[in-house]
A and B are shown apart, each in its own frame.
Chain A
Amino acid sequence: MGSILRRCDTSRTLVLAALIAFATYGIARAETPAPASAPVCQGCHGLHGEGNGAAAIPRLAGQSAEYLRKQLEDYASGDRANPVMQNLAKPLTHADIEALATYFSTAEAPHTMNPSTANSAQLDLGHRLANQGSEIKRVQACNSCHGPDGIGVPQAAPYLAGQSAEYLTSALTSFQQRTRKDDPGGLMTSIAGQLDASDIAAAAAYFASLPSNAP
C-alpha cells in the first residue's frame, strides 16, 4: 500500500490511490456534504480536511468524529489553547460542532505527505517509540493507544499516521508545556513530559511518514 502512495505525482493517481485506500477498509463511507459552518475551517484545513503540513495545520480527513468533536469543545472551553482555534470554536453551536465532526470524519482527501527531512536514525527512534516505547524515558508504545501503525483507535485515540510532522510536534510540545490540558487521565501530559525535543521530532517524523489508513 505504502509504495503506491509514495509514487504519486499526478492528481489522478492521487485520487485513485485515495479511493483504493478508502475502499479497502471494508467500510463504505460516503462523504457527507460540507455543512454551512465548514468554509471557515476549509480555509486553513483544506476543502476535504487535507491539512497543510508545513504550516502545522493538521489533517482532519477521516479523523475520529468523537475526537474532532472533543477538540472543538476543548478549544471553546480553553482546555486546549490556541488563539486562532479558540476564537473560531467559541461561536459554534452544538449542532455546528456535530456537523463539522461528521463531515471531516467522512471526508476523503488525498494523502499529502510531507517530503521527509527525517534521517533514518530519527525514523528508527520514532518507530521504536511508536511500537515499543522507552524504559529509560518511561513512556509506553504510542501504538498501544493510537492503534497499529498509528491508524487511531475509535473512542480512544486519534490517528497519527500521515499527520503533519510539524503539527504533531506542536501538539506534543503543547502537552509538555501544559498549554493543552484536555488529555484524558493526564496521559499525554505525562508522556510528553518524559520526552525531549529529539524524541518528539522523531515520533512526529515517523508518524508523518506512514500512510493515512484510519478505519
Chain B
Amino acid sequence: MTQRLKEVDVVVIGVGMVGSIVAKELAAAGYKVVGLERGEARFTVPQFQSPAIHDELRFDIRKALMQDNTREAVTFRNQSSETALPIRRWESFLPGTGLGGSMVHWNGQTYRFQANDFELATRTRARYGSKFLDPDVTIQDWGVTYDDLEPHYDRFEYLLGTSGKAGNIKGKIVPGGDPHESPRSREYPTPPQKEHYSGAMFRRAASSLGYHPFPQPSSNLSQPYTNPEGVKLNACVFCGFCERYACEHFAKSVPQTIILPVLLANPNFELRTGCQVQRINLDSTRKKAKGVTYIDAAGREFEQPASLVITSSFALNNVRMLLLSRIGTPYDPTTAKGVVGRNYAYQTMSSVASFFDEDVFINPFMASGASGTIINDFAGDNFDHSGLGFIGGSFIGAVNTNGRPIQYHPVPPGTPSWGKGWKDAVIKHYNHTVMFSLHGSSVSTRQNYLDLDPTYKDAWGQPLLRMTFDFPQNDLKMAAHVTAKAVEIGKAMGAKEVAGSPRKGPYTTTQYQTTHNTGGTVMGGDPSTSVVNRYLQSWDVPNVFVIGASAYPQNASWNPTNTLGALTYWAIDAIKHKYLKNPGRLVSA
C-alpha cells in the first residue's frame, strides 16, 4: 500500500556531492527540499575515525564504503553480440553509497577540463578535418563553453579549498602551474600540497625533457581553511589511506567537511536515508513529473509529490533512473536512434613502473590521494595529433597515492606470481619503485551504451542497468602513444628498469580503472543527440533536471569531479534564477 506524502517543492534523488550542493542552494533560497538517500548517514566522527578506517582489507579489498552488490549491481558485456552478466563484485569501478556519496572516498584529484573539451567535435574538425575521426566515434560539443563554466569552477574550488598552483590567470601564464590550462580568474584557495619524493624525481626528469610539470591540484588540503560556507577543514597529514577511505582529519573535501553542516542545519531541508527511489512519476501527458516513488529501509513504499525533481545520484544511476521512469527515448545501437544511455564513456588508464636500486627510498605509504606531480603535455589536444590516427590524450604523473601492501607491491615484468621469486621481488622493490599514472580520455562510440538488463534484477525487483562497452581503437592508440612518452620520463629519472603498461583491450571489469563512468544522459543543444539541454534540464520533462557526469558527451583526460562541481553550480544558477522564476523549458527544442 503506497503512502502518499505531503507535497514539497523539490525532491533531490541522491545526497552525495551534487545532491548536497543542490539541496543547500535551494533550501537556502527558501524552498522545501526533501533529499532521498539510498544509503545511511555517516559523519567524520565517529564513522571516519582512525585507526579503524586504516584497514586495507576492509575498505580497499572488500569495498566497505561502496554499493552492496547483494542488493544492486550492473550487468556487463563488451559487445552487443554477447549476453551481459552481472558484475558480482566491483573491481573496475566502485560506485559509492550513503550520505556524501562517492565523494566521501575520492582521491581529491581536482582538475578542470580545458576549453577544447567542451567543443570537442567542432574544434577537432577545425584542426584535423572532418575525416580524421573513425566514423563510429560520436564525440559532441557540450552546449556550454569553458568560459560559461569558469566562474562555477572557481566557486566549486573555493568551496572545497582545493590546494594548487594556477598556471594561467586571465590569460597570463604563471610559472609553477600548468601552462596548458585554460584561463582561471584567480589563484587556488590554498597552496599546493607538499611534493612527494617521487614527484620531485618526476618533476626534474620531465623538465629535462622539455615538459611542464606542475603540482597536482588536491582537495586534501595543504593547510587549514574556512570555506565561503563557513565550514572549516584541516591540513592533510599524508596518511596514504585516501581513495576508498574516508578522512578522519576533516582534511579531505567531502560533503561532510564542506557543506553538510550548513545543509543539515536548514529546516527547509529534510534528509531521509535508507530510501531507494524506484522511479520518477509522470502525469498522463508524460511531460510533467509529479514526484517520485521510493521504498524505505523497512520495505514500505511511499509517493513523494514534488514540483521539481532533481536526480543527482551517481552517473550510472541517473541513467537508470530515467530508463526506469521511462523519461526520454532509450538508445538503440542498431538503429542509432534514441538518446537515453547513449554516449557512455569511461577512462583509459595506463601505467609505467620505474624500478630503482635498494638505496633509493621512495616511502610510497606517505601520500595523499592527490599529492602528485603532473604534466599535461600529452593530455587533451595539447599536442599535435596530425598523422597519429587518434584524438585525446592522458595526463602523465608520478601520482603516488599509497603504499598499502595487499594491492601495492610492484614487481618487474617476468617476476613469478607466487613463491620465493615473488617474495624476493616484492621485498626488493616495494620501497624502491615509482609508479606513473597515465590518465587518458575516452571517446564515445555508437556501440558503447547503457540500457536496462532483460534478465537480472536488483533486490527491489527492478532491472539492473546493462553496460555495453569496449575500448575504442582511438583510445588504445592514444594509450600506446602516451605510454611510450612516459617510459622516456622514467628513463630520464635514472631508473634501473622501466616497464610501460599501456591499456590493452578488451575492457575487463576485473581490474580497477577509476570510477569515472560518464555519459548516458548527455547534455547538448540538439534533442536528437542529447537527453538534457545546456542547463541539464530534461528535454522531455522540463521539471526534471539530471545533474551528474552522465551529462558528459565523452570523457576528457582528467578526473570528472571538478567539472561536475562546476556544472552543478551552473545548473543550480539556472534553476534558481531562470527555472523557478518561470517554470518551463529553458531552451526551445
Interface residues of A (CB under 8 A from B): 131-135, 138-141, 143-145, 148, 184-187, 189-191, 194
Contacts and interface: CB of A to CB of B under 8 A. Distances in A.
A145 B249 CA distance: 10
B234 interface: yes
Nearest to A183: B235
B473 interface: no
A81 B249 CA distance: 26
B235 A133 contact: no
Given A148-B51, A184-B237, 14 more contacts: A135-B45, A135-B46, A138-B44, A140-B249, A143-B51, A144-B49, A144-B50, A144-B248, A185-B224, A186-B223, A186-B234, A189-B224, A191-B234, A194-B232
A148 B50 CA distance: 10
29 contacts: A132-B46, A133-B45, A133-B248, A135-B43, A135-B45, A138-B44, A139-B250, A140-B45, A140-B49, A140-B50, A140-B234, A141-B45, A141-B49, A141-B248, A144-B50, A144-B249, A185-B235, A185-B237, A186-B223, A186-B224, A186-B234, A186-B235, A187-B224, A187-B237, A187-B249, A189-B224, A190-B232, A190-B234, A191-B234
Interface in B213-271: 223-224, 232, 234-237, 248-250
Given A135-B45, A187-B249, A144 B223 contact: no
Contacts of B49: 131-133, 140-141, 144
Of A134, A140, A148, most buried by chain B (CB within 10 Å of CB) is A140
Given A144-B249, A187-B249, A189-B224, A133 B237 contact: no
Contacts of A187: 224, 234-235, 237, 249
Contacts of A140: 44-45, 49-50, 234, 248-250
B44 A133 contact: yes
Contacts of B223: 185-186
Nearest to A194: B232
Contacts of B237: 145, 184-185, 187
Interface size for chain B: under 10, 10 to 19, 20 to 34, or 35 or more residues? Answer: 10 to 19
A190 B221 CA distance: 13
Of A135, A143, A185, A189, most buried by chain B (CB within 10 Å of CB) is A185
Of B43, B49, B223, most buried by chain A (CB within 10 Å of CB) is B49
Contacts of A145: 237
Contact of B234 (A132, A134, A143, A185): A185
A137 to B, nearest CB: 9
B250 to A, nearest CB: 6
Interface in B70-104: none
A157 to B, nearest CB: 10
Instruction: Specify the main secondary structure of chain B where it touches its partner.
Output: loop
Contacts, number: 62
A164 B168 CA distance: 52
Nearest to B257: A138
Contacts of A131: 49
Nearest to B231: A138
Contact of A144 (B43, B51, B235): B51
B238 to A, nearest CB: 9
Interface string B189-230: 000000000000000000000000000000000011000000
Contacts of B51: 143-144, 148
B235 to A, nearest CB: 3
Contact of A190 (B44, B50, B224): B224
B59 to A, nearest CB: 15
A151 B249 CA distance: 19
B331 to A, nearest CB: 44
A148 to B, nearest CB: 7
A53 B565 CA distance: 52
A185 B224 CA distance: 8
Contacts of B234: 140, 185-187, 190-191
Nearest to A156: B237
Contacts of A190: 224, 232, 234-235
Contacts of B50: 140-141, 144
A135 B44 contact: yes
Nearest to A157: B237
A59 B224 CA distance: 30
B563 to A, nearest CB: 29
A184 B222 CA distance: 11
Nearest to B48: A140
A140 B50 CA distance: 9
Nearest 4 interchain pairs by C-beta:
A185-B235, A135-B45, A144-B50, A133-B45
Contacts of B43: 135
Contacts of A191: 234
A133 B53 CA distance: 14
A6 B307 CA distance: 66
A35 to B, nearest CB: 31
Nearest to A145: B237
B46 A133 contact: yes
A132 B249 contact: no
A145 B251 CA distance: 14
Nearest to B194: A185
A190 B250 CA distance: 10
A80 to B, nearest CB: 18
Contacts of B249: 140, 144, 187
A176 to B, nearest CB: 14
Contacts of A134: 45
Contacts of B248: 133, 140-141, 144
A194 B261 CA distance: 15
